[in-house]
Every structure is written in C-alpha cells, then in structure tokens.
Amino acid sequence: MKVVDTAEEQAVLEILLDATKAAIPGDCRHLHYLLFTPFRYGAPYPDGSRFRRAGYTPGVFYASETVDVAIAETAFHRLLFFLDAPSVPWPVNAIEHTAFSVAFKTAVAVDLTKPPFARDRELWTHRTDYAACQALADEARASGAEVLRYESARTTGPRPGINLALLTCRAFVSRKPVAMQTWRLHMNAHGVRAIGDGPAGPLEFNRDAFADDPRIAALQWNRG
C-alpha cells in the first residue's frame, strides 16, 4: 500500500509479485496461502529449524495445540530477531499477529511425548541443537508419517505445551484458516506482553521466561 494509490493498483502489484515466487506444490494448490507457504519455498532454507534441515529441504508447517503455546513460540522467535539486531530499539507500537485454527487428519503420525520416544525427551526439546529432531523427521518421512506431535521447548510448568509439525500438505482437512484472532505483542526491556481479542489473554513473558535458552540469556534488553 505504501507504493500504490488505489486498491486496484495494489491487486495488480500483488499479482506481479506472486508471479516471481516459487511454484506452489501440486498437492498444496487448493489451500489458503497461510497453509501452503511453508511448503512453497524449498530452497534455500537458510538456517534450519527443529524438524527441517537447512538447504534444499521439504517444507514443514509448525503449529501448536493451544493458542497460548503458539503465542509463547511467537514471542520467543520475535526475541531472537532482536538478538540479531542489538542496536535496534524496541518497537514503540505493538506488533500484530493473527492466530488461527486449522483441521488436519492423518493415518500415520509420530507422538514424541509417548513411549518409546518419550525416553529421549531431552533430544526432542533441546533448546538449540536440532540434529536429532531433523534426523527423526527424515526417518518419519521415509516411513510415510505425515505429522509429528512434540513438547514445546518454549513453555514451562507441570503441563508442557504441545506442538505439531505437519510434514505434508496432504494432512490438511481445512482448506483455509478458521477461528482467526488478532494478537498484539508489546515488547520492551521487561519482556513481552501479548494481548488478544480472544479469551486466552493477556499473556506475559518476562526476562526469565526463555532464559534457559543461551541465545535469550545473551539478549541485550536495555536498548534505546
């Protein structure tokens, strides 16, 4: 909108931009862009993530079973962004995000919170080393598994948060997001405060919330 004058011009610009992007995989083309985007960009995946290796690798759609866990994950990764930019001040205005639900179904899944996988919990929840998780994802794909269920490394307490990793578009039942909520993340030297338009907020993550991750422990909290 900053470079055009009308909605019609914006629509044309969006079409031109979309034509330059990677092709949408065939089994994802019927889906809303929020669902197919993680599978669209197979290369190059820059740094790797918990269940996806860096480089030319298949996509992974990451989600959480509950919105509070999804917001915790989002707050953590927002802080990582500011870790890489120590001279950037905290944003004056709140950062808006949209939380949504989507249905999925699969005949083959791997639940890392249950035996026999639960005995290796420390591997699946390691804060920074994803090698074991990536190797497991490779084996899961090779065996036909479509979904991984695992404990969030960003939540604490007697009942850990649960995340999901969809390894293929074929697992989606919904074609588009539903139950959309707006969440506003306020970030400052004290931490992150998330306020949503649903019943789950507000949520607060102070300086100690993710301090067991050495990257967050090294974060420059006091900035201009």
* Whether 174 contacts 79, CB under 8 Å: no
Report the distance separating Cα 22 and Cα 103, nearest Å.
Answer: 25
Task: Quickly state the pLDDT bin for 125 (edges 50, 70, 90).
Answer: very high
Task: Quickly state the pLDDT bin for 218 (edges 50, 70, 90).
Answer: very high
Q: Is residue 8 part of a domain?
A: no
| Whether this model's pTM surpasses 0.85 | yes
Q: Is residue 15 part of a domain?
A: no
pLDDT tens for each residue of 85-99: 888 999 999 999 999
Q: What is the dihedral of CA 164, 166, 172, 177, to 10 degrees?
A: 60
Q: Is residue 174 part of a domain?
A: yes
Boundaries of domain holding 70: 22-217
Q: Is residue 16 part of a domain?
A: no
223: pLDDT strictly greater than 90? no
**Mean pLDDT (whole number) for 97-106:** 96
Task: Quickly state the pLDDT bin for 4 (edges 50, 70, 90).
Answer: confident
Report the distance separating Cα 21 and Cα 36, nearest Å.
Answer: 13
Place of tokens 């929840």: 125
172: pLDDT strictly greater than 70? yes
Q: How many CA atoms lie within 13 A of 167 on its CB side?
A: 25
Alpha helix segments (H runs only) across 100-178: 121-124, 131-142
Neighbours of 87 (CB within 10 A): 7
Lowest mean pLDDT among 16-30, 164-178, 203-217: 16-30
Closest C-alpha among 61, 67, 80 to residue 182: 67
- Angstrom distances, CA of residue 145 to CA of 139, 155, 218: 9, 26, 37
Total domains in the chain come to 1
- The per-residue pLDDT for 2 is 79
- The per-residue pLDDT for 156 is 67
Q: Is residue 159 part of a domain?
A: yes
Q: Is residue 6 part of a domain?
A: no
**Mean pLDDT (whole number) for 117-123:** 97
Q: Is residue 70 part of a domain?
A: yes
pLDDT tens for each residue of 47-73: 899 999 999 899 999 999 999 999 999
20: pLDDT strictly greater than 90? no
157: pLDDT strictly greater than 80? no
Closest C-alpha among 46, 122, 86, 92 to residue 184: 92
- The per-residue pLDDT for 1 is 77
177: pLDDT strictly greater than 90? yes
Report the distance separating Cα 189 and Cα 205, nearest Å.
Answer: 11
179: pLDDT strictly greater than 70? yes
Q: How far is CA 61 from the centre of its chain?
A: 8
Q: Is residue 9 part of a domain?
A: no
Residue 17 CB contacts under 8 Å (≥ 6 apart), including other chains: none
- The per-residue pLDDT for 159 is 80
